[in-house]
Amino acid sequence: MTECPHQILHPASWKKASGYANGVLAEGRTVWIGGQIGWNGQQVFEEKELAGQIRQALQNIVDVLAEAGGKPEHIVRLTWYITDKKDYLANLKGIGEAYRTVMGKHFPAMTMVQVVALIEDEAKVEIEATAVLPA
């Protein structure tokens, strides 16, 4: 994975962000990727656990982005919808490993929201992404 081609925005007086960026400045072609859940390309859930579903959802994002010629380092924003905050907090180590497996050490601007449910009953997470590819 190459270095982030975008400028990370972080006010000098703020505490360091861990695992995300507060803002990203990017210029180029924009790719919007709809919410991806933890099933594979054949719409089958291979993983029941949250970390596994996160890994698959992120891989789905990377696969869609590749169709536009993009790579993980082109992602400037991720919005996560999780169904269980306690499950997320209890599994941070495995989730971090799953994230780094797919995304490397690239941490775009991120938002995470707990929701009551997702449309697919087995889904524990849905992640949408915005990427900016060089012009």
Domain segments of the chain as ranges: 25-133
- Residues 52-111 pLDDT 10s: 999 999 999 999 999 999 999 999 999 999 999 999 999 999 999 999 999 999 999 999
> pLDDT value at position 110?
97
Q: Do 96 and 128 form a contact (C-beta atoms < 8 A)?
A: no
Structure letter (DSSP) for residue 119 = S
List, for residues 16-47, the tens digit of each pLDDT value: 888 888 899 999 999 999 999 999 999 999 99
What pairs with residue 23 in β-bridges? 9
Instruction: Give the pLDDT band (50/70/90) at residue 1.
Output: low
Q: Are 45 and 25 in contact (CB under 8 A)?
A: no
Tokens of 88: 């997320």
How far, CA to CA in Å, does 72 sit from each of 59, 77, 94? 10, 11, 19
> What pLDDT sits at residue 117?
97
User: For the structural domain made of 25-133, what CATH number should be given?
Assistant: 3.30.1330.40
Q: What is the pLDDT of residue 78?
A: 98
As given in the structure block, the two tokens for residue 102 are 């797919």
